[in-house]
Amino acid sequence: QALPKTLAVALDILDVLTPTQKNRYLQVKMYGKTIREVAEEEGCYINTIEKSIMQAEKKIAKEREKRGY
């Protein structure tokens, strides 16, 4: 069965992210992990995760605007 259009569009928009950005973004936004949890799992600094998610949000916003959403 085909995905609902809004879900298909959302997944398509996420494809503008790097695999690392996409994973971090989904861990925090979809699965509800804290930035601290993601940083601990990856063995990196909290501000690294924060910066990655902020960059992901900018890319998503730009792509949404480009597509008229």
| Per-residue pLDDT tens listing for the chain (69 residues) | 666 688 888 889 999 999 999 999 999 999 999 999 999 999 999 999 999 999 999 999 999 999 888
Reference 58, options 19, 20, 16; nearest CA is 16
Type of residue at 57:
E
pLDDT at 21: 98
pLDDT at 3: 63
pLDDT at 26: 96
pLDDT at 1: 60
Element spanning 56, H or E: helix 46-67
3-class state of residue 69 by DSSP:
coil
pLDDT at 5: 81
Q: At what angle do helices 19-29 and 5-14 cross, to 10 degrees?
A: 130
pTM over cut 0.95: no
